[in-house]
Structures are given as C-alpha cells and as structure tokens.
Structure 1
Amino acid sequence: MMGFLFSARECSEIKYLIRKELEEVLFDLGDYRIDEMVRKAMEERYHILFRMYARFVSPKELTKYIRNKKYK
C-alpha cells in the first residue's frame, strides 16, 4: 500500500480526472458492439476507478456511478 499527501486543489483535480474517466468507460460499456474480452477488461478498469473515486467523494456523489448487476 502507498500513501500520498494531496492539497485540496490536487484532490479536486484527481476527482475530476477519475470522474471523467468513469463517465467515458460507462459510455463505452453501453456499446454492445465491443468484444466480450475487451468489455471484461473495461469492467475491471471501471471497478478500479470506482474504488479510487470512492476515496475522494461522499457516498451521495458515489451513487451516481454505481452499476447495476444486470449490466454485467
């Protein structure tokens, strides 16, 4: 495990970057033309990004990015 110290401005920038990446992956996961193997890798990436994002935001903000099990 690693630890980092971020200023408030750096935290807001990291939140923004992760949020945009989550939105992009969600958009791409909605495209059913994507190969199943690529989709699996994208879902793993989404899960990692989601856990990172959860460390920076409140639970209320996090609920916007929770995926339903039916989409897996």
Structure 2
Amino acid sequence: MIGLLLNDIEQKELEYLLKREMDELVYDFNYQDMDQQVKKAIKERYIVLFDIYKRFANQKECLNYIPKKNFSDVK
C-alpha cells in the first residue's frame, strides 16, 4: 500500500485525468472491430481506474462511472 498526500487542486486534477481516461476506454470499447482479448483488457483497466477514482470522488459523481453501467457483463 502506498500513501499519497494531495492538495485540493491536485485532487481535482487527478479526478479529471481518471474521468477522461475512463471515458476514452468506454469509447474504445464500443469500437466494433475489436478483438475480445482487447475488450477484456479494456474492462480490466477500467475497473482498476474506477477503484482509484472512487477514493477521490463523491458518491454522486461515481454513479456515472460504475462499471456495470458501461460494461454490461462486469460484476
């Protein structure tokens, strides 16, 4: 486990970066001609990023990025 101290500006920047990356992953996932292994890797990466994101964001903001909402077969 690694600890991390951030000021408010750094926290907002990290939230922004995580949201943009998750948005890009959802966009890439919806590309039709993608191999299933790549889609699986995208889902796994999304879940890792979401787990980090939910440590910073409030519950209302997290609702927009729940993996089940964006990837129907994620548990």
Q: Same fold (TM over 0.5)?
A: yes
* Structure 2, unpaired ranges of 5+: none
Q: Which is helix-richer, 1 or 2?
A: 1
Structure 2 counterparts to residues 26-37 of structure 1, below 5 A: 26-37=26-37
Counterpart of 2:41?
41
Q: Distance in 2 between matches of 1:41 and 1:19?
A: 18
Q: Distance in 1 between matches of 2:68 and 2:2?
A: 30
Q: CA 1:71–1:31 in structure 2 vs 1: closer, same or farther (change >3 Å)?
A: farther
Letter in 2 for 1:31: Y
Q: TM-score scaled to structure 1, two decimals?
A: 0.91
Q: TM-score scaled to structure 2, two decimals?
A: 0.87
| RMSD between superposed Cα atoms in Å | 1.5
Greater relative contact order: 1 or 2 (C-alpha under 8 angstroms, separation 6 or more)? 1
Counterpart of 1:71?
72
Q: Distance in 2 between matches of 1:68 and 1:46?
A: 11
What secondary structure sits across from 2:32 in the alignment?
A: coil
* Structure 1, unpaired ranges of 5+: none
Counterpart of 2:6?
6
Q: How many residues were matched structurally?
A: 72
